[in-house]
């Protein structure tokens, strides 16, 4: 461990999702959330899957698309201050492996939730709405776009 050694990244927030073990940790976290929800006695399996999907997507939306800035002091003259984590990811380069992973993972969770809820209309509507709230902000056409001035500053 090199304590006090400077990193070579201008903004370490750009590469954190590519760090070793991050994808496995992410998948294990989602799995643990689902196991905890399944262990609550009065939740049925369909409710647990829908809650897993909705909680996951809500957390993903908040951490990747709503919170702006970086927890690190960066020498980029404040450029990262106005960007969300998704916009900072891989320096804004589209279709990288980490961006693909974080786009496909809610889709896979959506398919699992839909299958285990047996496509019940109520669960299906909740799961679809939840999925769209995290997929639409990931579109390359919406990179840096603030709809109706929301989250502009």
Q: What is the pLDDT of residues 87-110, one digit of tens each?
A: 888 888 888 899 999 999 999 999
Domain assignment of residue 152, yes or no = no
In a domain, 151, yes or no: no
Backbone angles phi, psi at 78, to 5 degrees: 80, 15
83 within some domain: yes
For the chain, the domain total comes to 1
Q: How many Å apart are CA 141 and CA 4, to the nearest integer? A: 40
Write down the pTM of the prediction.
0.87
Question: Domain for residue 147, yes or no?
Answer: no
Residue 132's domain comprises 13-142
Is residue 38 situated within a structural domain?
Answer: yes
Q: How far apart are CA 109 and CA 125, in angstroms?
A: 15
Residue 47 domain-assigned (yes or no) = yes
Q: In this structure, are residues 127 and 52 in contact, taking their beta carbons and an 8 Å threshold? A: no
Q: Within 13 A of 150's CA, how many CA atoms are on the CB side?
A: 6
pLDDT in tens, 119-151: 999 999 999 999 999 999 999 888 777 776 677
> What is the helix (H) or strand (E) element at residue 127, kind and residue range?
helix 121-135
């Amino acid at each position: 461990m090199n304590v006090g050694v400077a990193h070579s990244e201008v903004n370490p927030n750009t590469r954190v999702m590519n760090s070793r073990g991050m994808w496995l940790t992410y998948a294990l976290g989602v799995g643990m959330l689902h196991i905890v929800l399944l262990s609550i006695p009065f939740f049925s399996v369909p409710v647990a899957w829908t809650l897993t999907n909705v909680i996951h997507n809500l957390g993903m939306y908040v951490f990747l698309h709503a919170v702006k800035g970086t927890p690190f002091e960066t020498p980029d003259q404040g450029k990262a201050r106005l960007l969300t984590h998704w916009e900072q990811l891989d320096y804004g380069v589209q279709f990288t492996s980490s961006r693909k992973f974080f786009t496909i993972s809610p889709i896979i969770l959506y398919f699992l939730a839909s299958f285990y809820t047996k496509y019940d209309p109520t669960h299906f509507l909740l799961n679809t709405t939840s999925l769209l709230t995290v997929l639409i902000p990931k579109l390359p056409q919406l990179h840096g776009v603030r709809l109706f001035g929301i989250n502009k500053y």
